[in-house]
C-alpha cells in the first residue's frame, strides 16, 4: 500500500498564531512549532505503517515548504520539500497511491472559530468556488488526489477543518487536535495526546480505505475567485480564459481539474504583487 501525506502547519496541535508558523517573525517559537509539526506527522506515519502502508511519501506543504527537519521525519517516509513546485501541497501525488492523508490542515477563509483560517493566500484570496461550491485548501487538494483516483481518507487539524472536510467527504476520518475560540485562539489538546489520536485515526482510516471513494469534481470545471481588492481582479482579468464577474470576482472554465488548479494558482501569482506600490 502506498500512502501520500500532505502536511500543513496551521492545524498542528498547539499552534494558534501567525508568528508561530513564520520563521521571520519569532524564530525560536517557529523552531519549537516545526518540531510539533513533525510530531503530528510522525504519528500519522506510524498509524499508516501499523495499518499496512509499505511506502509513505510526505509533502511539506506550508509557506516555503521546507519546515520539517528531515532527520526527524520518520525514516520510512520519503520527504518532498522546497518550492516552487507545480502541484503545491499535493506535489508528487499520482494514480499509484492508495490513499491521501492531510495533517495540520486549517479551514477556509472566513470560517467561524477556524484557527488561522485562510484559503491558499491570506493576502490575496477572499473565496474560491469550484462548480459553485466554496472550497478551502482541503477541498482543492482532495479534488486533485481524486482526479488521480486517490481517496482522501484522513485529516487532522482543528474542529472547523474536520467539519469542512466532512462536508465534501462524509466518511473521512478526522483527528481534532484543537477547538477554535477565535481565529487566533484555541483550546488545545496536549500534543502527546493529540498524536495518540492522530495515530489511531490514521490507522483506522487506512484499514477502512475501501469504504471511501475518491473525491472528484465534475468536468469541465468552473473556478470562481473573489479577491481581497478590485485591483487584484483588474490584473487577473487580463489573463486569457478569464471572465470578470464583478469588482472583485473572476471566473475561469477549464476542461479538466489539474488545468483548473494551475489556472487558480496562476491567478493568485498574478494578483499577489499588485497592491505593492
Residues that bind Zn ion (CB under 5 A): 8-10, 62
Tell me, letter by letter, the H, E, C secondary structure of the chain.
CEEEEEECCCCCCCCCCHHHCCCCCCHHHHHHHHHHHHHHHHHHHHHHHHCCCCEEEEEECCCCCCCCCHHHCCCCEEEECCCCCCCHHHCCCCCCCCEEEEEEECCCCCCCCCCCCCCCCCCCEEEEEECCEECCHHHHHHHHHHHCCCCEEEEEEEHHHHHHHHHHCCCCEEEEEEEEEECCEEEECCHHHHHHHHHHHHHHHHHCHHHCCCCCCCCCEEEEEEECCHHHHHHHCCCCCEEEEECCEEEEEECCHHHHHHHHHHHHHHHCCCCCC
Q: How far is the CB of 9 from Zn ion (least distance, A)?
A: 5
**Which of the residues 62, 106, 118, 148 is marked catalytic?**
118
Of 63 and 149, nearer to Zn ion (C-beta) is 63
Q: How far is the CB of 157 from Zn ion (least distance, A)?
A: 11
Residue 74 a catalytic site member: no
Of 10 and 17, nearer to Zn ion (C-beta) is 10
Q: How far is the CB of 118 from Zn ion (least distance, A)?
A: 8
Q: How far is the CB of 62 from Zn ion (least distance, A)?
A: 4
Of 104 and 214, nearer to Zn ion (C-beta) is 104
Closest residue to Zn ion, judged by C-beta, is 62
Of 10 and 60, nearer to Zn ion (C-beta) is 10
Just list the catalytic residues: 118
Amino acid at each position: 500500500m502506498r500512502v501520500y501525506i500532505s502536511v500543513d502547519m496551521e492545524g498542528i496541535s498547539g499552534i494558534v498564531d501567525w508568528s508561530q508558523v513564520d520563521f521571520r517573525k519569532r524564530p525560536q517559537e517557529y523552531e519549537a512549532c516545526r518540531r510539533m509539526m513533525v510530531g503530528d506527522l510522525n504519528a500519522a506515519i506510524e498509524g499508516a505503517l501499523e495499518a499496512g502502508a509499505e511506502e509513505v511519501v510526505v509533502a511539506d506543504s506550508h509557506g516555503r515548504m521546507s519546515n520539517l527537519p528531515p532527520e526527524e521525519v520518520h525514516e520510512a517516509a520519503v520527504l518532498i520539500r522546497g518550492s516552487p513546485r507545480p502541484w503545491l501541497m499535493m506535489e508528487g501525488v499520482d494514480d499509484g497511491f492508495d490513499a491521501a492523508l492531510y495533517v495540520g490542515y486549517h479551514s477556509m477563509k472566513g470560517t467561524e472559530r477556524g484557527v488561522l483560517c485562510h484559503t491558499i493566500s491570506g493576502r490575496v484570496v477572499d473565496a474560491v468556488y469550484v462548480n459553485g461550491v466554496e472550497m478551502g485548501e482541503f477541498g482543492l487538494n482532495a479534488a486533485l488526489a481524486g482526479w488521480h483516483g486517490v481517496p482522501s481518507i484522513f485529516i487532522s487539524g482543528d474542529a472547523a477543518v474536520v467539519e469542512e472536510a466532512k462536508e465534501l467527504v462524509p466518511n473521512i476520518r478526522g483527528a481534532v487536535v484543537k477547538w477554535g475560540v477565535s481565529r487566533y485562539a484555541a483550546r488545545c489538546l496536549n500534543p502527546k495526546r493529540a498524536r495518540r489520536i492522530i495515530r489511531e485515526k490514521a490507522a483506522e482510516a487506512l484499514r477502512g480505505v475501501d469504504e471511501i471513494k475518491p473525491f472528484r469534481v465534475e468536468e469541465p470545471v468552473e473556478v470562481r475567485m473573489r479577491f481581497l481588492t478590485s485591483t487584484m481582479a483588474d490584473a487577473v482579468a487580463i489573463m486569457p480564459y478569464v471572465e470578470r464577474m464583478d469588482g472583485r470576482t473572476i471566473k475561469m472554465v477549464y476542461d479538466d481539474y489539474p488545468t483548473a488548479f494551475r489556472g487558480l494558482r496562476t491567478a493568485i501569482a498574478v494578483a499577489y504583487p499588485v497592491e505593492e506600490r
